[in-house]
Structures are given as structure tokens and as C-alpha cells.
Chain A
Amino acid sequence: MTACLQPADESNAVPPVPASLPPRQAEPEPRDFREGRAGFLHSWDMVTAVNGPGTRLTYFLAGCPLRCQYCHNPDTFCQDQAEQVWTEDLIRRVRRYRSSFLLTGGGLTLSGGEPLLQPAFAGRLLHSAHEMGVHTCLDTSGFLGALADDQMLEDIDLVLLDLKAGDEALYHQVTTQTLAPTLAFGQRLADQHKPVWIRFVLVPGLTDRPDNIRAVALRAASWPNVERVDVLPFHQMGRHKWETLDIPYQLADTPEATREQVEQAVAVFRSLGLNCPD
């Protein structure tokens, strides 16, 4: 409790009012962003069971180099609407939740957008959390994996790696970018024995071709550090965001993936010895 909210002692005194705000911090300058003392944040959330184990403080960093057709957070594509935040403020929240993470088996997850679009910012957050003993998780497409230096990998306990398609042609169709950097990043994580959960979004009519599922599964199976694969059914919960942002949305008529479709895909991953939770 801040001192300014203490009640007055005398009942007839002027009632207490919350005094002025904590002194307003200066606006970050370009150098602060460059050096990771500040960053562009889309939002934060305490999320359970989605972005890694337990209940996790998830920072959604703004900006992404990919334009995935099925993105359910297209409002994180750009940074111009994002909040400019001081890294230290975000670290303070991690510190506040540290004891909760111990109870929930959770930790910190950086998601986005693409967190590696702001490597200095992401690196400082991950490093501070790691220093506090907080479990850290990076949720990434891997496209900018080259920007994650070895120090950053040291500070990460788990990588959630989105494998969006199994070959270059489809990857480009889905994301407008190339697959090779993701594969290189995946290999680097494998070489360092870094725990990885692969995530694959099953989009009917786009990523659900049997040969694509098999190609993704083969990639995943080639990395012994992959602990788990989540097959995520495509859903339409992001549709209204595309409409609000007035960006053409190519999947407006695409049906959501059914339970059976997901189970079939899961069977393919399991047949290659991969762990898919029920």
C-alpha cells in the first residue's frame, strides 16, 4: 500500500485522496529500444496451459515479419499501435509473480508477434527472469532464430517452435516467408539439447494435406530434443480482429479443424515416436 492511501487519523480531517501518480517516466528514446531497455509490447496476460507448462506470465511483443494466413493475433503484426514500455517495469512484474510460478509450475513466456524481432529487449527480459530462477519460454516461428545469440539461448528453458509447414512452397504460401531459417534454428536448438515443444496449426485446406503433416512430423522427429508436439486445431476466434483491422483475411470461409482431423494428424506424429498429449 502506498503511503498516500493511508486514511487520516482524525475523523473530521479532510479525507485522504490518492496523491499524484508515481512520477511519470521519460518516453523511451531510439537508443533505449536498440539496447533493449525499452520495447514495443502488445499486451500481457496470465495464461494457463497454452504457452508452456503451468500458469505463465506471457508478454506478447509487438511486430512480426511473417504474415500467416491463419494468424489469430493480426493486431500484433505491427508496432505502431503498440505500447512503448520500459523493460524494468516488465521485469518488476516477473518478480512479483515469481512465487506464483513456483506454485503453478509456470513461468515467463515471450510470445507475439515475433519476440525475436526485438532481440535486445527479449534478451534482457529472459536474462532477468533466468537470473531470478523463473522458468522461461520463447514462443517463436524461428524465422529470426539467427538473432537469438548463445547468451539468450542460455537464458531460455523451453522453446515453443512453430513449424507451420513442411516444405518451402507451402511455408511461403502460409507465411509469405521462407522455411530455411526456422529449420536452421531448430537444428541449432537440437545441437544444444535445448528442450523444444513443436506447435503445428492444422488448417483445413491449407496445412492438412497428408504429405505436409508427414513432412512436418519428419522434421520434428529428426530433432531428439523435441519433448512434445501440440497439434492446434485452426479456429475462427481471430476473424473479427482481421475485420476490425481491415486487412484482407483469406480464411474467412475456412472451417475450423474437427476433432477427428486433429486425431488423424496426431496419429501421424505419434507413429514417428513423438509425444502428443491427449
Chain B
Amino acid sequence: MIATETKPTVQSAYRGFKDGVWRESIDVRDFIQQNYTPYEGTAEFLSGPTAKTLSVWNTLEKDYLSVERKQRVYDVDTHTPADIDAFKPGYINTDDNVIVGLQTDVPLKRAMMPNGGWRMVETALNEAGKEADPEVRKIFTRYRKTHNDGVFDIYTPRIRAARSSHIITGLPDAYGRGRIIGDYRRVALYGIDHLIAEKKRDKDRYIDQPFSEHWARYREEISEQIKALKKLLTLGHSYGFDLSQPAETAHEAVQWTYLAYLASVKSQDGAAMSFGRLSAFFDIYFERDLNEGTLTEEGAQEIIDALVTKLRIVRFLRTEAYDQIFSGDPYWATWSDAGFGDDGRPMVTRTSFRLLQTLRNLGPAPEPNITIFWNKNLPLGYREFCAAISIETSAIQYESDEHIRSHWGDDAAIACCVSPMKVGKQMQLFGARVNAAKSLLYAINGGRDEVSGKQIVPGYEPIKGDGPLEFEEVWQKYDDMLTWVVGTYVEALNIIHYCHDRYAYEAVEMALHDSEITRTMGCGIAGLSIVADSLSAIRYARVTPIRDETGLVVDYKTEGSYPVYGNDDDRADELAKLVVKTVMDKIRAIKLYRDAIPTQSILTITSNVVYGKATGAFPSGHEAGTPFSPGANPENGRDTHGMLASMFSVGKISYDDALDGISLTNTITPQALGQNKQERVSNLVGILDAGMQEGLYHANINVLNKETLEDAVDHPEQYPNLTVRVSGYAVNFVKLTREQQLDVISRTFHKGA
């Protein structure tokens, strides 16, 4: 398909659409609510892949993906710093003409994005076997200051100490922060000319106010946004499309939207570059074309398959150290779907089914990160189709529609794994996470690091004596220590986001936001289950510290039994809840950059392995140097009363204390779900319904046998597409490091009795 010959007009672009507020101001949500058609049926109408879809996918697999799997990085352009319009158009093969556009001129070829920091780029180049271009190096080390340079100019001694002792790890101080979702739909619905006109009006809205830094930043940022929109126009032209006007057809709506997303992944390498909430939006265009007789179901599926193909091959230049924290080359092209509208209609459309169908038509894959806003009142046909695809592919995650809608409305989407935001109206200042478990050991040791023995935190008294630990004393010291840890952590985040806005501003993503938006500060903690179990052991059993010759507590002797988090036992679960609330209250007490709303997530990505490595032994018996369980999961293997009991425990953590999301990754064997396919489907639907009814926020669902994973460790070549959900996202299992593979295998596999 090629660009339309005549310039579309607003009248023809909006033919058949119901008017509303969306015609007066930029309001994609209103457009969707006025025009979408819920679908209550089953998956029967769906089409398989077309010959063209398979041709493109097979070329990709044969010539690119299989090569990349062998050598980690397919190729890198070492001369051209990335930008929206930096590369010539590229295609996968001659059949690649449905939804087009690549990040660079060749599939999987990665681009440098040095605004985050030059050292990261150069390390990644070297690890990919490439030499840096001296000219580019000179530009980004002599002439152009980076985000990373800015941050380290400002960092305080206590932040440096906390970073080097690994109590805080993975901060976005040398890479793009991500977790910003441009409202890419705006380009399709309004066209860029209109968006630029609106931005120009916004820019001068406060022109009569006296100078202030805030005022100047506002005008400068909008100017940057307008420049980015102009580049997006150029990008469209290079692929033969005129994005200045609204899309006229379903094909154009998808293509326009994708190009807007493409502009963002061409210019930013944020950790998570999520796609938004698109199915109902696209579906309106599909329904119109289907009704007008210009599109068939096969054609509609081909468009979605082509889009998903493109969303599967986004690549960023990353270092191996980065892979430790965000393993498996993820970019979180998270696509949020389903849920309910505020008016009580389900936001499930035929396109919601088409999206899931891509996992059959193209085979399982981790991206896009398909995220279902689950609600027990969604149409049964859809819930069962989700469950069936989960059982086949382990590629879907579920989040509570009720939690998200009640806090963020019915046009919210997930950025990354579990972070909800109103699309185009809200962004997050991403904050990685702090090691809440190690903080407990610091509390006991008075700020001495249990691994190195160094005094990291000054001015704190350790627990003395050789007797059993007293809960009240430990809690008091933990609370004190968290004040220092959280204070240091949030100080670092304020600095980081101040610099990110200055040196690595996300112009095109922010151009697709309202000019005045809500910001949240997405803090996070790691090691929740260990803290809960350790506090429980101290509270309900007898825990005696074991000291080395310098008096440092390096291990614990625990006698007697105690309740364990993850088994729906209030005594332990309330401790987990208390820790989350305590940390949150400390974040709330600190002034945040750009008046962000304080939030936190209980999510670890794959940093549960690095966090564990840098942390000592615990009263719960968690051994020094071993991986934490992911996110808010109970300790691996200790949630012994079934998947639902585990969900009920996690569901007790108050969402109001973790508005950025509470992640639970579940693995269940197929046999434990039922004896046959239909039983498994309806049982999984029931488990999700029941878990979320009891307050659960998030559920990754893996339906796998441990033996399959063990075999894949030894014979990776036989499992190129084995997908597992690790912590708010999915990965190709064979792309994980061996250490991370073993961590996944050591997690709880619910087997029933």
C-alpha cells in the first residue's frame, strides 16, 4: 500500500464518526467512547496469517532473528547518533508493505543514543565488537553534555556510598528513563498540522507572565516538542505518507500511529517504551472500513499482524551490565487492552481478539507486552480466549481493571510492567528501586555493610549482644534505617529527573501529551518477601545473630516455626503490608521534583538476581548472595498452599500504598490447571477472577513444566521462541543469562496437591 494521491480532508477522515468533545479539543478518550463497538462474542471470527504475513515473518526469522540469537547484537550503526529522521527508510523484504518503518535502515540494526551518557554507548559498542567513531565520541565528550554527566555533577556523597554498596541499584542515571507513553493515536486522529497548531497556542498561553524558570522551561519544552513533530512529518514523508492530516482508513490509522511510536523509539532508548491502549481506537477504523466494504477480516488481521511484527523488532544498544537488570533485551512495547469504560461497557473489541491472535499467527514472543485489564465481568468469550492463549504461550499479563480504572480512569495504559498512567495526560519519573531487604541488615548492623564490612551509613547504633533478636528493637531500628535509605534514594531520583529533562528530553513523546500533565515519581522496593519472612521469624520464632570476629552480624540461627508470607496467613502478610506502607510514608514526606505525586511499585524486573548477589543472609534463612524472589512474590518455594492462596496474600498489600503497581509472577503446571483444555481454560479464568476479586493488582501467568525449562537450558537451539513471563514482562527464555534461567527454574511451580 502506498500514500494516497489526494490530500485527505477532515470531512472525509471523520465520515461516519459520532461527534463529541473530541472535535473541540484533543481528547482521544472521548473519540473512543463515542465511537467504539464492544464485542461480546467468541474467537470464531478470527483469520489466520496471510501469505504476505508469513513471508515477512519468515525472512525476519531466517535472516535476522536467528543471527541475532547467536551473536547477541545483529549490527550497530557507529556513525549516526539516533534521531527521528536520522536514517533512510528500511524494509524487511519486498512483501514488507503493510505497516512499514524501521528504527534504522536495516532490521535489528541498533542505533547509538548518546544523550543518556557516552560511556554506556561506548561500552555497549565494544561489547558488540565495534569501535566507537572518534568524531562522535568527541562530540559527546567535549561539546555536548549528557544526562549522565549532569547527574554525577550533582550527586551527593551519601548517594555515591549507597550506589557503591548496592543498597540502591539500577538507577536511570546513565540510560533513558522511559515509562512515558506518547499518545500515538493523536497523530492518526488529528494529523500533525493540528497538533502543532495546538502546541503553538499552548506555548503562548502564559506569554504575559513574568519570567520564571518554570515559565522559561515551559516555553522551551514546547518548542522542542514542535520541532519533534516536524521531524515526525519528515519521517512520514520518507515512507511515503502525509501525516499532516488525519488518517482516512484503518490502514492509515494504524500506520500513522505506528510511525508516531517509531519516532519515539528512534529518538529515545528509555528502559520501557510502551505503546498505550490502542485496540478500541483501531477497532473504530476497522469497523468503519469493514462496514464500507473496503476491508475484509483477513485484511484487518494482516494489518495487526504487520504492526505486531514491527513491535517485535525494536532494539536498543545496551550494555551487558544493563542486561543484568533488564534481562532478555526487553523494551516493553506494552499494549494495554480490555477493561471497562466508565459507562459500564466492556472495552473489549474484535481488535482485542486480533491482538491475541497474533500470538498464534506469528507464534509466541515476549513483545509487544500484551497486558489485559482483567475484570470478572468482561465477556466470557474474551476471558476464555485470554486464558487459552496464556496456556498456549505464557505471553500475557493481567492487571486489575478495578484498581486501575478507579484511580486513573478508563483511558489508562501500563508503561513498562505494572505502571498505570492516563494516556497523554500523565508521565512517570521512573525510579528503579531500593533494596528494602538489605536495609534490614543495615538496621541490625548499624549501617555497616554485611558483605564488605564497611560503614556505609554514619550515626546508627547496631543491635548489641548475643541474645535472640527482639522484634520491637529490630523494627525501631529498621524504621530509622529506612528513613536514611529512602531519603538518599529519593534525593538521587530528584537529581536524575532534573538532569534527564535538561539533557535527554523526550520531545516527541511529550509532544503527544497535553502541555500540562500529571507526573508521578515511581519509586520501588526489592526484597519484600525476605523482609516479611525475616520479621515474622524474629516476631514468632527465636532468631539469634551470628557475628564474625569484628562483631558484624553475618548470619542468623532461627529456631521454631513462624508464619510465612504467601500462604494467606495474616500474621506474616500484615508484616509485608506494614513494610510497604512504612516505605511509602517516608517517600511521601519528601519534596519531589516538579511536584510529582509520590508512588512506589513492588516490582524487580530481573534485578532480583543482582540485588540478591549483593546482599547477605537473613533470619528467614534466605542465603547470602542468592536471588530475591521477583516483585511482590512470596519467597520462592515457600508459598506452599496453592496459587490462589499466594494471590490472596499479595492481594492484601494496599494498592493505595503502591500506586505504581504490585507485581506477582505465577507459574503453574498445565496438569495443575486441569485434565483437558476446556477444564484448564475455565479453571484459569476462575483463578484470575478470584485473585483479582481479593485485591490482587497484577498477575503474570506462566503455564509451564519445570522439565521444559530445564531442557531449554541444555538445548537452547530447540526452544528459540519459548516465552516466559518473569516480572511484569516476558522474555525469550533462551536469551536470559544462565544464572537468571536457574533463578526462574527455582521459583514456585504450583502443582496442586
Residues in chain A within 8 A of chain B (CB atoms): 1-2, 5, 7, 11, 14-18, 21, 43-51, 54-55, 58, 60, 93, 99-100, 103-106, 111, 230, 277-278
Known: A17-B472, A54-B683, A277-B676. A46 touches B577 (CB 8 A): no
Please count the residue pairs between chain A and chain B whose beta carbons lie under 8 angstroms apart in the complex. 106
Known: A49-B673, A103-B693, A104-B683. A18 touches B641 (CB 8 A): no
When C-beta atoms are compared, the residue in chain A nearest to B646 turns out to be A46
CB distance from A244 to the nearest CB of B (A): 16
Interchain CB contact under 8 A, A104 and B753: no
- In whole angstroms, what is the CA distance A60 to B641 when docked? 12
Interchain CB contact under 8 A, A49 and B641: no
CB distance from A189 to the nearest CB of B (A): 23
User: What are 28 A-B pairs with beta-carbon distances under 8 A?
Assistant: A1-B574, A1-B577, A2-B574, A5-B574, A5-B578, A11-B589, A14-B476, A15-B475, A15-B582, A16-B578, A45-B640, A46-B642, A46-B644, A48-B643, A48-B673, A48-B687, A49-B674, A49-B679, A50-B753, A55-B690, A100-B690, A100-B694, A103-B690, A104-B683, A104-B690, A105-B686, A106-B686, A111-B753
Interchain CB contact under 8 A, A45 and B686: no
Task: Give the most central of A17, A44, A46: most B CB within 10 Å.
Answer: A46
Q: What chain A residues lie within 8 Å of B641 (beta carbons)? A: 43-46
Known: A47-B753, A277-B675. A18 touches B687 (CB 8 A): no
Does B541 have its Cβ within 8 Å of any Cβ on chain A?
no
Q: What chain B residues lie within 8 Å of A50 (beta carbons)? A: 672, 752-753
CB distance from A103 to the nearest CB of B (A): 4
Does B730 have its Cβ within 8 Å of any Cβ on chain A?
no
- In whole angstroms, what is the CA distance A21 to B376 when docked? 35
CB distance from B390 to the nearest CB of A (A): 14
Known: A18-B578, A100-B644. A45 touches B693 (CB 8 A): no
Interchain CB contact under 8 A, A104 and B675: no
CB < 8 Å neighbour of A48 from B475, B476, B568, B642: B642
Residues in chain B within 8 A of chain A (CB atoms): 376, 471-472, 475-476, 479, 539-540, 568, 570-571, 574-575, 577-578, 581-582, 585, 589, 640-645, 668, 671-676, 679-680, 682-683, 686-687, 689-690, 693-694, 752-753
CB distance from B9 to the nearest CB of A (A): 50
When C-beta atoms are compared, the residue in chain A nearest to B668 turns out to be A48
CB distance from A99 to the nearest CB of B (A): 6
Interchain CB contact under 8 A, B689 and A49: no
- In whole angstroms, what is the CA distance A230 to B679 when docked? 14
Task: Give the most central of A17, A50, A51: most B CB within 10 Å.
Answer: A17
Give me the 6 closest cross-chain CB pairs, A-B, nearest first. A104-B686, A46-B642, A100-B690, A15-B479, A49-B674, A103-B689
Q: What chain B residues lie within 8 Å of A103 (beta carbons)? A: 376, 686, 689-690, 693
When C-beta atoms are compared, the residue in chain A nearest to B676 turns out to be A278
CB distance from A76 to the nearest CB of B (A): 11
CB < 8 Å neighbour of B476 from A15, A18, A47, A277: A15
- In whole angstroms, what is the CA distance A105 to B640 when docked? 22
Interchain CB contact under 8 A, B686 and A55: yes
Known: A17-B475, A55-B683, A104-B686. A49 touches B574 (CB 8 A): no
Known: A5-B577, A7-B582. A48 touches B589 (CB 8 A): no
Q: What chain B residues lie within 8 Å of A104 (beta carbons)? A: 644, 683, 686-687, 689-690
Known: A18-B574, A103-B686. A46 touches B643 (CB 8 A): yes
Q: What chain A residues lie within 8 Å of B570 (beta carbons)? A: 2
When C-beta atoms are compared, the residue in chain B nearest to A2 turns out to be B574
- In whole angstroms, what is the CA distance A111 to B645 when docked? 18
When C-beta atoms are compared, the residue in chain A nearest to B674 turns out to be A49
For the residues of B in contact with A, the DSSP-based class is helix
CB distance from A68 to the nearest CB of B (A): 16
Known: A47-B752, A55-B686. A18 touches B679 (CB 8 A): no
Q: What chain A residues lie within 8 Å of B690 (beta carbons)? A: 55, 99-100, 103-104
When C-beta atoms are compared, the residue in chain A nearest to B571 turns out to be A21
Task: Give the most central of A11, A51, A103, A277: most B CB within 10 Å.
Answer: A103
- In whole angstroms, what is the CA distance A18 to B686 when docked? 34
Interchain CB contact under 8 A, A7 and B752: no
- In whole angstroms, what is the CA distance A105 to B681 when docked? 13
CB distance from A237 to the nearest CB of B (A): 8
Q: What chain B residues lie within 8 Å of A16 (beta carbons)? A: 578
Interchain CB contact under 8 A, B642 and A45: yes
When C-beta atoms are compared, the residue in chain A nearest to B677 turns out to be A278
Q: What chain A residues lie within 8 Å of B672 (beta carbons)? A: 48-50
Interchain CB contact under 8 A, A18 and B675: no
- In whole angstroms, what is the CA distance A48 to B641 when docked? 11
CB distance from A151 to the nearest CB of B (A): 28
CB < 8 Å neighbour of A55 from B476, B568, B577, B687: B687
CB distance from B532 to the nearest CB of A (A): 11
- In whole angstroms, what is the CA distance A16 to B479 when docked? 9
CB distance from A102 to the nearest CB of B (A): 9
Known: A15-B476, A18-B578. A48 touches B645 (CB 8 A): no
Known: A104-B683, A104-B686. A55 touches B644 (CB 8 A): yes
Name 9 extra pairs, CB < 8 A, besides A11-B585, A105-B682.
Answer: A5-B574, A45-B640, A46-B644, A48-B644, A50-B672, A55-B690, A100-B644, A111-B753, A277-B679
- In whole angstroms, what is the CA distance A193 to B142 when docked? 88
When C-beta atoms are compared, the residue in chain B nearest to A105 turns out to be B686
CB distance from A74 to the nearest CB of B (A): 14
When C-beta atoms are compared, the residue in chain A nearest to B654 turns out to be A1
Q: What chain A residues lie within 8 Å of B471 (beta carbons)? A: 17-18
- In whole angstroms, what is the CA distance A260 to B693 when docked? 41
Interchain CB contact under 8 A, A48 and B472: no
- In whole angstroms, what is the CA distance A212 to B575 when docked? 54
Known: A45-B641, A49-B674. A58 touches B539 (CB 8 A): no
- In whole angstroms, what is the CA distance A230 to B539 when docked? 45
Interchain CB contact under 8 A, B752 and A48: yes
Q: What chain B residues lie within 8 Å of A58 (beta carbons)? A: 753
CB < 8 Å neighbour of B539 from A18, A45, A55, A105: A18
Q: What chain B residues lie within 8 Å of A21 (beta carbons)? A: 540, 571
When C-beta atoms are compared, the residue in chain A nearest to B376 turns out to be A103
Q: What chain A residues lie within 8 Å of B577 (beta carbons)? A: 1, 5
- In whole angstroms, what is the CA distance A93 to B567 when docked? 12
- In whole angstroms, what is the CA distance A1 to B573 when docked? 10
Known: A14-B476, A105-B682. A49 touches B752 (CB 8 A): yes
Q: What chain A residues lie within 8 Å of B582 (beta carbons)? A: 7, 15
Q: What chain A residues lie within 8 Å of B642 (beta carbons)? A: 45-48, 55
Interchain CB contact under 8 A, B689 and A48: no
Q: What chain B residues lie within 8 Å of A48 (beta carbons)? A: 642-644, 668, 672-674, 683, 687, 752
When C-beta atoms are compared, the residue in chain A nearest to B535 turns out to be A18
- In whole angstroms, what is the CA distance A47 to B645 when docked? 10
- In whole angstroms, what is the CA distance A145 to B674 when docked? 28
- In whole angstroms, what is the CA distance A104 to B682 when docked? 8
- In whole angstroms, what is the CA distance A44 to B640 when docked? 9
- In whole angstroms, what is the CA distance A99 to B568 when docked? 15
Q: What chain A residues lie within 8 Å of B476 (beta carbons)? A: 14-15, 17
- In whole angstroms, what is the CA distance A230 to B575 when docked? 42
CB distance from B556 to the nearest CB of A (A): 19
Interchain CB contact under 8 A, A278 and B675: yes
- In whole angstroms, what is the CA distance A101 to B642 when docked? 14
- In whole angstroms, what is the CA distance A170 to B94 when docked? 71
CB distance from A8 to the nearest CB of B (A): 10
When C-beta atoms are compared, the residue in chain A nearest to B692 turns out to be A103
- In whole angstroms, what is the CA distance A162 to B479 when docked? 54
- In whole angstroms, what is the CA distance A50 to B479 when docked? 44
Interchain CB contact under 8 A, A99 and B693: yes
- In whole angstroms, what is the CA distance A50 to B679 when docked? 11
When C-beta atoms are compared, the residue in chain A nearest to B475 turns out to be A17
Q: What chain B residues lie within 8 Å of A11 (beta carbons)? A: 585, 589
Q: What chain A residues lie within 8 Å of B674 (beta carbons)? A: 48-49
CB distance from A134 to the nearest CB of B (A): 14
CB distance from A255 to the nearest CB of B (A): 17
CB distance from B614 to the nearest CB of A (A): 26
- In whole angstroms, what is the CA distance A99 to B648 when docked? 13
